[in-house]
């Protein structure tokens, strides 16, 4: 029944003006919430926001006075193609077709959780790009996706798809497949992402926690290789996001001019200051760190080469986040869901608050700050007249209890209601 309702809403664009009444809303810009207001939506955009309650007669009326209204949320680090499973649960093989089906499922779950825009930073190929296009053409339901396509790695590095495989069972991956060695191949890889239709570049500049390799933080790209990737990316108007746990890899990436550092586990004060100087965003993914730290306590959940990395990296991310925030590093919301379960994105707000960020700043990190990182702050990220009507509501006051971000009761994307208080 719910699916039929969603499909009906999806296929039926709102023709009349929509009027929303709210007793409390957060606009994504101001340091304080606003009260007792009327929001009018027309043709997918916010036509007006005014104090007081306009007579609902003649409008498609939505009463959200019992809830907290805010802009649609944005998650800068998602992987829609799956969810991490224990050794016992993990299938022997996963076909790309399965990944695509799961990605579509997880997209719906994410939108239902109030996230109307996401950045997919790496998948097995063209899954996220294809999903983005089918969502944009109104063939399937999901959030607005900005996709990096296949992550770029070095041989044996994090995101080398042949890690852990017998050498007899694979051909050495090429730059077109996202594995490079040397600056020349960096240009080939970036240009292939352009050919694939990506929106940006994901670069794995250090080891990773869940890759089948000994180190989780060693640098895996030379300075020259990173410089080449960034130079090529700028030619095509790409943003560049870098997976990084160790400080040397972060330093090389920030100096090269990347847009964001993901995870940042062992970030030093030197790196923090460089990021402040260069305006580089930090996407912390604390919830993924907390997840792997907890699972590392379970025997046989991770391969043995992964377990000590998960145990050490997980607890550190929260502490690093707290120091970076206090120092003044720009922070954009990101979770790394796909490690942990999709739809649990809201937990990141709880951890950000736990490690020192105010409730309002945490919400801003998932609205206007994420919009700035994606270079779309002129159209999204806040509730303002003329902007795209991405609007959600939660049951409760998140400025008093940030955990109510779990309780999303209303979701509008592009002026279309996908979840309503009566669903």
Judging by DSSP bridges, how do beta strands 34-42 and 73-78 pair with one another?
A: unpaired
Per-residue pLDDT tens digits for 284-342: 999 998 888 787 778 877 677 777 777 777 778 999 999 999 999 999 999 999 989 99
- Which residues in the chain are classed under CATH 2.30.40.10? 2-72+382-419
Reading the block at residue 69, the tokens are 């209204």
192: number of Cβ within 10 Å: 18
Judging by DSSP bridges, how do beta strands 18-25 and 34-42 pair with one another?
A: antiparallel
To the question of domain 73-374 being in CATH 3.20.20.370, the answer is no
- Which residues in the chain are classed under CATH 3.20.20.140? 73-374
Per-residue pLDDT tens digits for 158-210: 766 656 666 666 667 778 888 999 999 999 999 999 999 999 999 999 976 55
Alpha-carbon span 406 to 140, nearest angstrom: 24
Residue 81 has pLDDT above 90, yes or no: no
Per-residue pLDDT tens digits for 107-155: 999 999 999 999 999 887 799 999 999 999 999 999 999 999 999 998 7
Please give the pLDDT value at position 158: 74
The sign one gets for the Cα dihedral 347, 353, 357, 362 is positive
Who has greater pLDDT, 82 or 350? 350
Please give the pLDDT value at position 319: 94
Alpha-carbon span 402 to 353, nearest angstrom: 8
Beta bridge mates, 261: 242, 282
pTM here is 0.92
Reading the block at residue 386, the tokens are 């003329």
Alpha-carbon span 350 to 346, nearest angstrom: 7
Residue 10 has pLDDT above 50, yes or no: no
Per-residue pLDDT tens digits for 371-399: 999 999 999 999 999 999 999 999 999 99
Please give the pLDDT value at position 3: 46
- Coil, strand or helix at 77: strand
Structure-token match 């050495």, residue found: 172
Residue 414 has pLDDT above 60, yes or no: yes
Cβ-in-10-Å burial (0-12, 13-18, 19+) of 52 comes to exposed
Residue 1 has pLDDT above 60, yes or no: no
To the question of domain 2-72+382-419 being in CATH 2.40.10.10, the answer is no
Alpha-carbon span 202 to 243, nearest angstrom: 7
Residue 156 has pLDDT above 80, yes or no: no
């Amino acid at each position: 029944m719910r699916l039929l309702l969603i499909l009906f809403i999806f296929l039926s664009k709102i023709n009349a003006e929509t009027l929303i009444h709210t007793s409390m809303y957060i606009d994504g810009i101001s340091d304080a919430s606003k009260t007792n207001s009327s929001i009018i939506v027309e043709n997918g955009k916010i036509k007006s926001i005014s104090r007081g309650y306009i007579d609902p007669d003649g409008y498609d009326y939505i009463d959200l006075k019992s809830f907290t209204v805010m802009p649609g949320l944005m998650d800068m680090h998602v992987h829609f193609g799956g969810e991490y499973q224990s050794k016992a649960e993990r299938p022997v093989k996963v076909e790309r077709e399965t990944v695509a089906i799961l990605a579509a499922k997880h997209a719906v779950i994410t939108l239902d959780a109030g996230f109307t825009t996401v950045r997919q930073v790496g998948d097995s190929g063209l899954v996220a790009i294809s999903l983005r296009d089918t969502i944009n053409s109104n063939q399937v339901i999901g959030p607005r996706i900005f996709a990096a396509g296949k992550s770029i790695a070095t041989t044996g590095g994090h995101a080398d798809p042949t890690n852990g495989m017998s050498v007899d069972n694979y051909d050495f991956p090429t730059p077109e497949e996202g594995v490079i060695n040397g600056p020349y191949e960096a240009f080939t890889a970036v240009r292939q992402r352009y050919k694939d239709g990506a929106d940006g570049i994901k670069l794995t500049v250090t080891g990773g926690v869940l890759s089948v390799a000994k180190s989780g933080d060693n640098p895996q790209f030379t300075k020259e290789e990173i410089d080449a990737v960034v130079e090529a990316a700028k030619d095509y108007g790409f943003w560049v996001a870098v997976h990084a746990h160790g400080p040397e890899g972060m330093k090389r990436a920030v100096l090269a001019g990347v847009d964001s550092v993901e995870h940042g586990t062992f970030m030093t004060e030197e790196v923090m200051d460089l990021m402040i100087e260069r305006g580089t965003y930090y996407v912390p993914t604390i919830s993924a760190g907390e997840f792997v730290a907890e699972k590392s306590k379970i025997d046989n959940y991770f391969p043995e080469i992964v377990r000590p990395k998960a145990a050490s990296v997980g607890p550190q991310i929260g502490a690093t986040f707290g120091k970076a925030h206090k120092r003044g590093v720009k922070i954009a919301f990101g979770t790394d869901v796909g490690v942990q379960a999709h739809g649990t994105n809201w937990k990141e707000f709880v951890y950000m608050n736990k490690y020192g960020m105010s409730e309002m700043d945490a919400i801003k990190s998932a609205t206007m700050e994420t919009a700035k990182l994606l270079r779309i702050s002129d159209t999204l990220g806040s509730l303002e007249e003329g902007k795209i009507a991405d609007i959600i509501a939660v049951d409760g006051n998140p400025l008093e209890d940030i955990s109510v971000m779990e309780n999303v009761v209303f979701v509008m994307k592009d002026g279309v209601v996908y979840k309503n208080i009566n669903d």
